[in-house]
Structure 1
């Protein structure tokens, strides 16, 4: 009996071995995909690892089933195996996703449907792919971000087999509430009126950044921190946390005027009067005598109406010194006899209005009476004495894309100015009357100028004034004046604001041209080093006066040097050392040259 069971066991073992051997060595005879209508068979077969002639296994079959599902093109994948004498035939029955006939976008207003469909991977004419849903949503949001907006993808519904419509519903983020916190002096409406971004608007990132820049340019705030949080569905609430800085200054002191007299100085200046954003100013200088006093009153209302119309007014009775040195340096300074001053009494009035985010138009009016006086009362030489009156109108167009006006890193500034006017010279030095250089009586004139400034930083735009940037700055200026104009209305070049390394007002004429280059290097948060080159000249006007030789044609003069800028609440404090044709000169001023 025991022998019988041994025989039976041996037979069963041999049978199992014989059955296993074919299973382990079964070869794939063919691979067939059934149900394809729009999807390329070649693309499907490429995704499979089972190929004709390869060894078949259940694991390989399951792996290929998952690979077909991972393609995202099929609603169902059902594999099957047919046995044959020579191997197995593998069949995959698939159900394709619907063919996309139309992409239906809703909720888009700032970008067209055509623009958005271009960024989708699921396009009309293609079989819908589940794998493209997330990339499509990301691509739509990226397209909005590139345009400066934010979009929320609310729905991405695949097409059905009946209509083939891929439905995408999105929401363009809008502004909810805007609040201001931290302002103790500046009134909240004064801050909110500077914002072009309003509650209910579609949130536009470039406009919002320009709004923040505009607030910084007011000079009222040391720091502005926007905080955003979700509001009602599809909205963004914004809170502006501001840190105010002092906007008023009172200066009292003494100085030495070109007549070598001690003068008293008093300055009262407030750029945010009563927190309303108005500017009021008073400048007073006195030498103790009636003729030595200077007084100037300033007032600016930045918002006259809902169109952001501004009004600026100045009343003055002041002395303007000509041919004075600028603290240090120079070898061609005229002596005391050659200096003179101008007593100017008058009024200037200007009205401005912005048009869009970058353009501003200004209409101005000026009328004044001018009397000239020699600094040295006992001098014997002649000087440019011309007494008379002047009235002019100014039309100015400004295009400004700078990030921050006081210390820009990127952008450009273009100003075109036209100033027609009339002068009435009542008296002049006899030697100039005899030579025909000066004519008495009324005369019309036209002054015109074009000022172009370009700023570039390899690090890009600043988002706050504290961002440190290497800046390349270029300025090109040209101006001319026509008509019989008095000496004091010519174009002047020379000094801290134009051609550094030269005396103030060193060159004059009926035409002026200037080209300046600066490389501004940040050293510390409040300290910047500057390398500069100025090329300029003024020509074609009054002839040589005293030591100042002039020319009738353009003869470019070059000044170059180094400088430093120290940031203060009033703007950058500027110290430049310029080297010109006749030596070096140090210039002190406030604010960038351009």
Structure 2
């Protein structure tokens, strides 16, 4: 038994020795392994696993770990972790990149990066777009068919789509996107903001229904900032409001836009009466009633009369928006008197030339009907006009004798004029009453014929072009919606010509504040006319402007266009060709409810000067 015990003790000692040896060996292996990974080692290889379409060299430049770097494990792991962030941000991969590393047989680092690429885009589907065509949306996207999907690029594409909508005045966004990795189908679903309510605040006289006819934007339409700006311009051009502000906000549902027009109305009615002496030495009384917003429907009515030595009257009525398209109707019934002041005139009786202090008293009694139709509901900048004129005309020739205006010969009837007018107008001005930019082009042709019952047959053509452009960067704030330039250039070109049996009162006249400043009103007369006006305008404030101007032009042709200088020499000679006349000067403009009141001081090319006052 004693021998057995000794054997057992010997066995236990042996087992303990083996256990110690095993533990010691394990510890030595761990220490050895830690020594292997803890020491600085060279990176011998970087392998990419899972690439199908992306060349490895396109990725290595992103990594901070390079082949040949000598790194300890801690630095290697930290750099690779950061590099995985960089690779993920490239946008090419469906899952976040992963890495692992090991030591090769020569004691160097071998790095393996596992990647899962997005599929190649085989089809791009755009849904929900109504404002902008799919082709135009695709054209701004960098993501293309037959390219590997890149979510970073796609994110930039979404911002480009938003910007495309903003540039066109819309509000649009990508509501959702889906990419099927198995089929390569990329689907973008867009959402576009729509107008869900249009409200008006501040109206007292004007009816909402006429304003809703004026507006281009309707409830249910896509929200469009440019269309709202056009609506602001349309409302402003009614001439009924002091200020208009547009407020936009999300509606209660959060899915649409509610628009509110905050309007301050201005006085639209005017009544005046008076008694006085005219510049012609006449004792005149007058009365005028005018309303520019009759019934709150933007209708215009003007009643006017003069009495005592000058007896005239007129009734003018204008109704806009006769139909939803924007047809405008105007009627003018009148018995009026005009004064014409050509420098030379052929006396009615006796037939001789007078050289100064001569004028015509021109009386017209009749009616004019005019229809103006815009090209469409959307395009109310292009207008077509049809007009009818039926009037009797007579005139007496007068001159100053001893400071008194006296008739020279009897009043002469010139018969009836029956004419039809066709017109075209293209108006891109921002504000019609005091524009800062844009153009206005007018073409009219009027045909008078005996076939319609008149006493004369002739045709007159008239062309007018206006141009406005800001200069400099200075602006004035008028309202929250409107800022106007301080300085601008304004140009107007007028051309007219006539053929046929043209009575004197249907000739063109040049001279005076409306065309050729520096000369007397109607100084030049003829069957043809060209006048060019150029102005440099500077606004001191929204209601006051300073002006430098230059005018050039002439009226010539026909039996009434006489060469005044030749006549002074006793030679009767017709002015058969244009001889441009010039005027230049300074002026000031005041904006009023009646329109612009203009004061101009001009000097002509004969060295004489004139002071002009006009309205409009």
* TM-score, normalized by the shorter chain, greater than 0.5: yes
Is there any run of 5+ residues in structure 1 with no aligned partner, and where?
Answer: 1-11, 326-332, 425-440
Query: Helix, strand or coil: the match of 2:273?
Result: strand
Higher relative contact order (CA 8 A, sep 6+): 1
SS in 2 for 1:260: coil
Deviations 1:96-155 (A, max 9, x none): 122211111101123222211121233222222222343222110111222232213211
What's the CA shift for 1:203? Answer: 2.4
Please, which of 398, 410, 417 is the counterpart of residue 375 of structure 1?
398
**Pairs within 5 Å for 1:346-425:** 346-356=366-376, 357=379, 358-376=381-399, 387-422=414-449
Of 23, 48, 58, which aligns to 2:38? 23
Cα deviations across residues 537-588 of structure 1 (Å, max 9, x unaligned)?
1111234569687611011111111111111122221111121123111111
**Superposition TM-score, scaled by structure 2 size:** 0.84
* Equivalent position of 2:547 in the other structure: 530
Superposed counterparts of 1:222-301, under 5 Å: 222-231=242-251, 232=253, 234-286=255-307, 288-289=308-309, 292-301=310-319
Deviates more, 1:65-74 or 1:468-477: 468-477
Find out whether 1:101 has 2:126 as its counterpart. Answer: no
Equivalent position to 1:309, from 327, 332, 336: 327
2:173 aligned partner: 152
Question: CA 1:412 to 1:528, structure 2 compared with 1: closer, same or farther past 3 Å?
Answer: same
Counterpart contact for 2:399–2:408, Cα < 8 Å: no
Find the counterpart in structure 2 of residue 3 from structure 1. none
Preserved contact between residue 519 and residue 531 of structure 1 (Cα < 8 Å): yes
Distance (Å, rounded) in 2 between the aligned partners of 1:276 and 1:365:
25
Aligned equivalents of 1:525, 1:516: Cα separation in 2: 23
Cα drift, residue 20 of structure 1? 5.1
Give the drift of 1:384.
10
CA apart distance, 1:383: 10
Larger Rg: 2
Q: 2:581 aligns with which of 557, 571, 578?
A: 557
Query: Could you tell me how far 1:403 is from its partner in structure 2?
Result: 0.8
Deviation at 1:479, TM superposition (A): 1.1
> Over residues 354-398 of structure 1, what are the superposed CA-to-partner deviations in whole Å (9 max), with x where a residue is unaligned?
113221111111111122123348769789966322111111111
**Partner Cα separation in structure 1 for residue 582 and residue 576 of structure 2:** 18
Q: Is 2:577 the partner of 1:585?
A: no
Q: CA deviation at 1:316?
A: 0.9
Task: Assess if the C-alpha contact under 8 Å between 1:389 and 1:423 holds in 2.
Answer: no
Show the counterpart of 1:574.
Answer: 598
Is 2:447 the counterpart of 1:455? no
SS at match of 2:116: strand
Partners of 1:478 and 1:115 lie apart in 2 by 43
Task: Output one character per residue of 1:147-177: Cα deviation in whole Å (capped at 9) or x when no partner.
Answer: 23221321122x1221111111112222111
2:525 is the alignment partner of 1:500:
no
Q: Which moved more, 1:240-249 or 1:561-570?
A: 561-570
Counterpart of 1:70 (choices 60, 64, 89) is: 89
**Which residues of 2 match residues 54-69 of structure 1 at below 5 A?**
54-56=69-71, 57-69=76-88
Shift of residue 18, structure 1, vs aligned partner: 11
For residues 38-49 of structure 1, the aligned pairs below 5 Å read: 38-49=53-64
Q: Is the 8 A contact 1:350 1:363 kept in 2?
A: yes
Q: How far off is 1:399 after superposition?
A: 0.9
Aligned residues: 551
The structural deviation recorded for 1:507 is 1.1
Task: Give 2:48's match in structure 1, choosing from 33, 38, 53.
Answer: 33
Aligned CA RMSD, in angstroms, stands at 2.8
2:135 maps to what in 1?
114
8 Å CA contact 2:396, 2:410 repeated in 1: no
Q: Secondary structure at the match of 1:372?
A: strand
Unaligned runs of 5+ in 2: 1-26, 344-353, 568-573
Q: 1:559 to 1:517 in 2, by over 3 A?
A: same
Within a 5 Å distance, the mapping from 1:316-335 to structure 2 comes to 316-323=334-341
In 2, the alpha carbon distance for the partners of 1:341 and 1:423 equals 25
- How far is 1:443 from its partner? 3.2
Note if contact 1:317-1:344 (Cα within 8 Å) is conserved in structure 2. Answer: yes
* Residue 199 (structure 1) aligned to one of 219, 226, 233: 219
Contact 1:404 1:465 in 2 (8 A): no
